[in-house]
């Protein structure tokens, strides 16, 4: 008997992305340096926005790859022929 797994529908990728964004906050340090440079050296704010966008896109790609790997890893194997003579049907031990 195969039991059906109850899986929550939807928002799996979004919640995983948000969790990964929190775990990868240290990769935003260049963006914060660029924000400080915006206020100190008057460089464009778009450098800060671009650095944050690169960070979010990178984490989203990583999350998508890991989600795909989990999906591919959960595909069940097709049934295989039992080649073990001791556990196949009709086995009668010699006495």
Label residue 53 by pLDDT band (50, 70, 90). very high
CB distance 24 to 59 below 8 Å: yes
Residue for token digits 């050296």? 41
Token pair in block for residue 55? 């960070």
CB distance 43 to 34 below 8 Å: yes
Label residue 95 by pLDDT band (50, 70, 90). low
Q: Give the separation between CA 85 and CA 51, rounded to whole angstroms.
A: 62
Predicted pLDDT at 48: 97
Domain ranges of the chain: 24-72
User: The whole model's pTM is what?
Assistant: 0.72
Percent of the chain with pLDDT over 70: 79
């Amino acid at each position: 008997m195969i039991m059906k797994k109850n899986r929550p529908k939807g928002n799996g990728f979004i919640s995983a992305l948000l969790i990964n964004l929190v775990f990868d906050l240290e990769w935003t340090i260049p963006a914060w340096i660029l924000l400080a440079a915006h206020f100190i050296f008057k460089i464009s704010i778009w450098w800060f926005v671009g650095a944050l966008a690169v960070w979010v896109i990178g984490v989203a790609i990583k999350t998508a790859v890991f989600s795909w790997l989990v999906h591919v890893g959960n595909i069940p194997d097709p049934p295989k022929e039992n080649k073990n003579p001791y556990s196949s049907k009709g086995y009668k031990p010699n006495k």
